[in-house]
Amino acid sequence: MRILRNSHIDFLGIKWICIGISIALSLIGLASLVIKRGPKLGIDFTGGAQIVYAFSQKPDENRIRTIVEGANVKIDSVQRFDKPEKNQVLLRIPMEQKEGRDIAREVNAALVKALFPQGGAPGAFDLNLNGADLLLNKLVAEDPEKFAARPSVDPKTEYTRITQAIIGQRSEKVLFASVGDAASDPRIPPATAAWLKEKTVAGPFTLLSAENVGPQVGKDLRERGMWAVILSWAAMLAYVAVRFRSLSFGTA
């Protein structure tokens, strides 16, 4: 199959039309840049924070905004993210002028306090917010399977395997709907399953990602990006210049 049977188009013959189209397209591009005030920059270049959470129920964006603002964190937008049934929320937070504020931690603490106070209580262990390390420590310390009494097994190895089953399952599911959900996996032995149900809780949300770019790094990334573009253009121009002056026209 062929679409263009005769590919010898006389471009030079219609050069004014071609030049006209090029100029017109460039002008449209420029005009769009002026009207929209430049391209929309990501946080790599502007600085600021972006935090994505996944909720087990449909999240209430306004409530989240109120909670975060109540914790003295400025907020640009709270948006639903990805497919609606995934219950994900993206928080955009403007850049702090002062370097070093740990926005992600403050937002997290505020959300836990407001949406799941029992998860922040002393002794409580939220399966959806804590990591594998802490779960492993807690399992080894409390030893629900009584591995320590058995000389033939190393409790740490056994609990590492169990922890991985639990956390691996959470990674698949994004977050646990309940502790029963976490305990239902066949790889989890019954005593641990009972322990999970009794000693842990499953909060209503989990952190998917957090990015925070401060003023210094933002400036750095802007400069590096600019240099990458300028230098690669220069390299391509140089290559084309060398290549088409000496080689191509000689062999053609």
Partner 1 sequence: MQKPLGWRVALTLAVLVGSVFAYWWRGQEALKVNPTAPPDPTFGDVLRNGLKLGLDLRGGIHLVMQVKTSDALRVEAQDALEHVKDEAAKRGVALTPAGPADASGFAIAINEKSEPTKLRDLLKTALPPNAWDVSERGREWKVSLKDAERTAIEDQAVRQAVETVRNRVDALGVAEPFIGRQGTDRILIQLPGVDDPGRVKEIIGTTGLLELKLVDDKGGPFSKPEEVAAAYGGTVPQDLVVVEGFSEDSEARTRTPVYYGLRRASVITGRDLKNARVDRDKFNQPAVMFFLNAQGAVKFGDATGKNVGKRLAIVLDNRVQSAPVINSQIKDSGIIEGNFTLDRAEALTLVLKSGALPAEMIILEERTVGPSLGLDSIRKGVLASIVGMILVFIATVFYYRLAGVNAVVALILNAIILLGAMAWLNATLTLPGIAGFILTIGMAVDSNVLIFERIREEMDNGKAPKAAIDLGFKRAFATIIDTHVTTVAAAAFLFQFGTGPVRGFAVTLVIGLVASMFTAVFVSHLLFDLVYGKKTKVEAISI
Amino acid occupying residue 233: W
Cα–Cα distance for residue pair 132/36, rounded to 1 Å: 45
Can residue 100 be called a binding residue for partner 1 (CB under 8 A)? yes
Can residue 177 be called a binding residue for partner 1 (CB under 8 A)? no
Out of 56, 192, 200, 212, the only residue in the binding site for partner 1 (CB under 8 A) is 212
Can residue 41 be called a binding residue for partner 1 (CB under 8 A)? no
Can residue 217 be called a binding residue for partner 1 (CB under 8 A)? yes
Residue 173 near residue 181, CB atoms below 8 Å: yes
Out of 174, 189, 197, 222, the only residue in the binding site for partner 1 (CB under 8 A) is 174
Interface residues for partner 1 in 230-249 (CB under 8 A)?
231-232, 235-236, 239-240, 243, 247-248
Can residue 87 be called a binding residue for partner 1 (CB under 8 A)? no
The backbone region for 174, taken as left when phi is positive above 0, alpha when psi lies in -120 to 50, beta otherwise, is left
First to last CA, the chain: 28
Can residue 2 be called a binding residue for partner 1 (CB under 8 A)? yes
Residue 188 near residue 135, CB atoms below 8 Å: no
Can residue 171 be called a binding residue for partner 1 (CB under 8 A)? yes
- The distance of closest approach from Cβ of residue 15 to partner 1 in the complex, given in angstroms and rounded to an integer, is 22
Query: What is the number of residues in the chain?
Result: 252
The vertex-56 CA angle with 50 and 58, nearest 5°, equals 80
Residue 96 near residue 113, CB atoms below 8 Å: no
C-alpha separations of 173 from 51, 55, 134 in Å: 19, 12, 20
- Measured in whole angstroms, the distance separating CA 48 from the mean position of its chain's CA atoms is 14
Question: In this chain, which stretch among 33-41, 162-170, 181-189, 196-204 interacts with partner 1, using CB under 8 A?
Answer: 162-170
Given the complex with partner 1, which of 13 and 250 has the nearer CB atom? 250
Question: In this chain, which stretch among 16-24, 27-35, 60-68, 94-102 interacts with partner 1, using CB under 8 A?
Answer: 94-102
Out of 60, 65, 66, 160, the only residue in the binding site for partner 1 (CB under 8 A) is 160
Given the complex with partner 1, which of 32 and 216 has the nearer CB atom? 216
Cα–Cα distance for residue pair 160/153, rounded to 1 Å: 12
Judged by DSSP in three states, 74 sits in coil
Residue numbers of the site for partner 1 (CB under 8 A)?
1-2, 7, 52, 54, 99-100, 102, 104-105, 108, 122-123, 130-134, 137, 141, 160-161, 164, 167, 170-175, 206-214, 216-217, 221, 224-225, 227-228, 231-232, 235-236, 239-240, 243, 247-248, 251
